[in-house]
Amino acid sequence: MDRIKNCEKTFKKLFGGAPTADEGNDPEFMRILQRFIFGEICHTGSLDDRTRELITLTVLTVNQTLPQLKAHVGACLHIGVMPADIRETVYQCAPFIGFPKTLNAITAMDEVFAEKGIAMPLANGETVTEETRCAEGLKIQRPIYGDEIAERYKWLPAPFDQAVPRYLTAFGFGDFSTRKGLCARERELFTVVLLAALGGAETQVRSHVAGALKTGSTREEVVCALVHAMPYMGMPRLFNALNCAKDLLEAPRA
């Protein structure tokens, strides 16, 4: 693998320019970063550029690394990712990281859209109403996860024994997973990466790895997504995610 040539090719494709040579105050660090991410990581595994960049946006949103988020929103647009798909990738982080952090990422994203002359607001992506959001969310949730959460939290005092499972269904699935822009397979794959990047959510990582496999991702694609996220979230979180889902991701024995 020629990391230098790969880096030059990928960097130009994503950002329209050349990687760092000797400019700036820390050119050595930037060469390490760029050659590893764009010369090696981006050339390992089967995922396409669009999926890789949306994975990157997911991790940067979780990490609240907004300057880098803006750069990769620009990269997404440069390779032809639709603004609505970028928006949905950021929006769907909200149930996992909370509204304030998601709003920070939305502000950074919208600044790039404005700089690129993209008319705002984007076309409405809603597909549910106030009356249907819970039922439509359940249609997505139940085939993948069954009634596990409702059963698991029956011990809560009223009204939370009913409210907590309903929030997951109506809010997590109904308000977000029903939206236009990303398919169920993409949403589950990005959720795996999101949870891995959070750290400390290995129970949920494992659950969503199973969900990603059920919605059509292969074991190789799930591993590729986690490995692609590693330079942005760090190696310990990669290993935590791989270890907690080892039995689901392990290659079949010959």
Closest CA to 43 of 13, 82, 81: 13
Residue 118 phi/psi, 5-degree rounding, is -85, 125
Spell out the per-residue pLDDT of the chain, length 254, in tens. 899 999 999 999 999 999 988 888 999 999 999 999 999 999 999 999 999 999 999 999 999 999 999 999 999 999 999 999 999 999 999 999 999 999 999 999 999 999 999 999 999 999 999 999 999 999 999 999 998 888 889 999 999 999 999 999 999 999 999 999 999 999 999 999 999 999 999 999 999 999 999 999 999 999 999 999 999 999 999 999 999 999 999 977 76
Q: Domain 45-125+179-249: give its CATH code.
A: 1.20.1290.10
3-state secondary structure of 252: coil
The single-letter DSSP state of residue 8 is H
Provide the whole-model pTM. 0.96
Distance CA(80)–CA(91), nearest Å, equals 19
